[in-house]
Amino acid sequence: MKQALLGAISAAAMIAGASSALAQDMDTLTLQLKWVTQGQFAGYYVAKDKGFYEDVNLDVEIKPGGPDIAPPQVIAGGGADVIVDWMPSALASREKGVPLVNIAQPFARSGMMLTCLKETGIESPDDFKGRTLGVWFFGNEYPFLAWMSKLGIPTEGGDEGVEVLKQGFNVDPLIQKQADCISTMTYNEYWQVIDAGYSEDDLVVFNYTDQGVATLEDGLYVLEEDLADPEMVDKYARFVAASMKGWEYTCDNQQEAAEIVLENDATGAQTEEHQTRMVSEICKLTEGSDGSLDVAAAQQTVETLLSGGSDPVITKEPEGAWTDEVTTKAADVDME
């Protein structure tokens, strides 16, 4: 029996050693998320959980974001190889000196909305003047500012302008009647309002897409200098291919994907019901995407951001802000 035990221990040690050697042989890559662990990023967690990254020889670390984490600053400081960011934030950062480049666009559509209480009497954007509107910052304010500029509505308050309330990442300003409207996403905060006891009939929703000011969200960005390294481009291509397989699996297995997200939520703050619903809504935004960037949509984002009158989000057409080199190479990665 002693001999058998020693044999088992030796075999276990050999397996552990082999696993360690295999991990050391893998290429490492760090992904910085835009926000906390939730269904918004299910495709990446699923790709890691199901071994899709390992299948392409990648050891991927996924770093959650948060209210005090700005992905462009993280990657500029060497804390990540790839970040998830919205294009307005990425383009603004690029113009300020952080050379971000979009290498893939899993989200084909925008989920951003402005949600108002019907009781305020707001029926159209013409009714915004003199109102208080909740707006996220940390790079999320750019689509809103571009929209207000397009409408010709100042954001410094007054009867002809709007009072901008710096909104936390919750729906309290609407519930507590501190704001007439707040920023919401189709997959998250809108449903928090519903869960707070309001019905859809109690709300008036302005979808950014319907208003013609939608901008691209949740793209994958890297530093321009890294794209000059063929080995990094190859690593990015494998990462994109495995990530898109993760998104495909997510939307085909939404309940399982939500459970994987919950398993990775170290805070314990998320609920199964909320994450399952979020994954369902997210899949409406990724539907039909193979990760390739729609250049027309990117150009629409640029035009929206440039339409800021005397204070545009960006001041000139960006050059080199996106590339199809990675997604083209990713299409040839064997993910079977």
Assess whether the region 23-109+216-278+289-330 and the region 112-207 belong to the same CATH fold. Answer: yes
pLDDT of residue 2: 47
Question: Do 91 and 202 touch, CB atoms closer than 8 A?
Answer: no
Instruction: State the pLDDT confidence band at 8, using cuts at 50, 70 and 90.
Output: very low
pLDDT of residue 310: 61
- Determine the longest span between alpha carbons in the chain, in angstroms: 87
Contacts 24+ apart (CB under 8 A), 187-194: 187/39, 187/40, 187/111, 187/277, 187/278, 187/281, 187/282, 187/285, 188/38, 188/40, 188/278, 188/281, 189/115, 190/113, 190/115, 191/274, 191/277, 191/278, 191/281, 193/115
**Separation between Cα atoms, residue 88 and residue 313, nearest integer Å:** 8
What is the average pLDDT value for the chain, to the nearest integer? 91
Mean pLDDT value of segment 49-72: 96
| Domain chopping of the chain, boundaries | 23-109+216-278+289-330, 112-207
Q: What percent of the chain has pLDDT over 70?
A: 91
pLDDT of residue 130: 95
Whether pTM exceeds 0.85: yes
CATH 3.40.190.10 fits 23-109+216-278+289-330, yes or no: yes
Residue 21 pLDDT more than 50? Answer: no
**What letter represents residue 10's amino acid?**
S
**Separation between Cα atoms, residue 170 and residue 208, nearest integer Å:** 19
pLDDT of residue 299: 94
Mean pLDDT value of segment 143-160: 89
Q: 194-229 pLDDT, tens per residue?
A: 999 999 999 999 999 999 888 999 999 999 999 999
Least confident of 96-110, 235-249, 308-322: 308-322
**What letter represents residue 84's amino acid?**
V
**Separation between Cα atoms, residue 142 and residue 183, nearest integer Å:** 12
pLDDT of residue 134: 95
- 112-207 topology per CATH: D-Maltodextrin-Binding Protein; domain 2 (3.40.190)
Q: How far is CA 304 from CA 65, 164, 282, 295, 317, in A?
A: 26, 20, 23, 14, 11
pLDDT of residue 309: 60
